[in-house]
Amino acid sequence: MTTRERSGIVRIGVGVAVAIWLSVVILQPGLFGRPEILAPIAITGLVIALACAAGIVVGSRSGLAWVVLLAIGLVGIGLRLMLVDGSRSDVLVVTEAAVAKWLSGGVPYGIGYAVSSPPGAPFPYGPVALAWHALAGPAAQEFELAIGCFVLAVLMLRGRPIGAAAYALMPLAAGATGDGSNDTSAGLFLLVALVGLSVSRFGGGILLALAVGFKLFAAAWLPAALAIGGWRVLGGFALGSAVAWAPALLAWGLRPIVASMSRALEIHVRPFLSLAAAVEALTGRPAVPETFRLLGPIAGALTAAVVFAVARVRRVDTTLAGLAIFTVTIYSGYWASSTYLVMAAPVVCWEMDRWLGTAGWTVRWPLRPLRRLADRLGALRAGPVRD
């Protein structure tokens, strides 16, 4: 075995193992401080990841690495199907209620839905999410599962080993597709938008606005895109925002939409997986909800300002810049969920092999049309490219 092959196995294996391990820890924060549980999980993940990496690297000699990647993808789909246990995300329940309210002629914003847990949760997502899930009808949970499998199939077709295997095997991403959380669809919207920016700044700006119209957290990737893409991204984003929001604003007005967004911040009475929860655990004193509910947006806005200023004068990675704003905004507040990170998973997995230097081990598919499509996908970056 050559030095390059040994290096490839180590890089790919460690990259996939760390992705799996972090996914487990983020999904179950209680595992921190439990080495008797965490250590076996880490070792198991490393063994699985190194076995996958060895199969891809060694299989590349005979052109059969695609068989290994295909097997990884099938395991990923099986993992998603296995995690569909009948439980439904509260996000899905509220979204279905909001869609029913809209289709019956009512206003889906500005009210709390009794079907949520705890009761009274609003619908805090954009009009694009309403229209998107209206397409699914009563099969919204299966719809999100299909979206997750589609994203996995695209990453597999692209053939970048770490990104494809990480998305396939991460329990956090797999679990979210099973319970119907809309973060899976939000991740697809974000991935399409950022990849679109590398093709057309104006068109990508439109797509990014639609992603924000689905879930506001996608705005975290706007500052770096604007700093690099300039007025063309801004123009596309303005047009896309008009398309996404104008019908809802004309039909229902701004007040109920803002009321739903505000109410979503107040529905949780105890801090969880956030800076407020950490402060409360360290000090033993209850965190002040009003303070931390303001701190999250303020910290995110300051991070966005820093990212924009830096991106104007030097090269930055759009994915990492957006991820920084995203995580600071979400987790410096009062309440958060590990599932939020599923929204960022597709675009992170899209870029992981470039970051870790394993793009040279891209899997080649046996059929020419598949290879041609994979090459085109492989050439696409996430975010606008500097002139």
Domain boundaries, the chain: 3-378
User: How much is the pLDDT for 351?
Assistant: 95
229 vs 227: CA distance, rounded Å? 6
How is 200-243 classified by DSSP, letter by letter? Answer: -HHHHHHHHHHHHHH-GGGGGGHHHHHHHHHHHHHHHHHHHHHH
Q: Are 20 and 50 in contact (CB under 8 A)?
A: no
Q: Are 257 and 109 in contact (CB under 8 A)?
A: yes
- pLDDT < 50 positions in the chain: none
pLDDT in tens, 221-231: 999 999 999 99
Bridge partners of 272, per DSSP, are: 335
User: How much is the pLDDT for 268?
Assistant: 83
Q: Where are the beta strands (DSSP E) in the chain?
A: none
Sequence-distant (6+) residues with CB within 8 A of 215 are: 125, 126, 129, 182, 183, 186, 189, 343
Phi, psi of 272 (to 5 degrees): -155, 135
User: How much is the pLDDT for 320?
Assistant: 95
Calculate ∠ Cα 354-331-319, nearest 5°. 20
Q: Are 41 and 21 in contact (CB under 8 A)?
A: yes
CB atoms within 10 A of CB 63: 12
User: How much is the pLDDT for 38?
Assistant: 78
99 vs 200: CA distance, rounded Å? 32
Question: Which residue type sits at 334?
Answer: Y
10 vs 358: CA distance, rounded Å? 10
User: How much is the pLDDT for 175?
Assistant: 85
User: How much is the pLDDT for 40?
Assistant: 84
User: How much is the pLDDT for 86?
Assistant: 62
180 vs 146: CA distance, rounded Å? 10
Specify whether the backbone of 336 is left (phi greater than 0), alpha (psi in -120 to 50) or beta.
beta
CB atoms within 10 A of CB 361: 23
Q: Which of 145, 183, 165, 146 is nearest to 341 (CA)?
A: 183
Q: Are 386 and 312 in contact (CB under 8 A)?
A: no
Helix H or strand E segment including 98:
helix 90-103
Residue 181 DSSP symbol: -
User: How much is the pLDDT for 120?
Assistant: 87
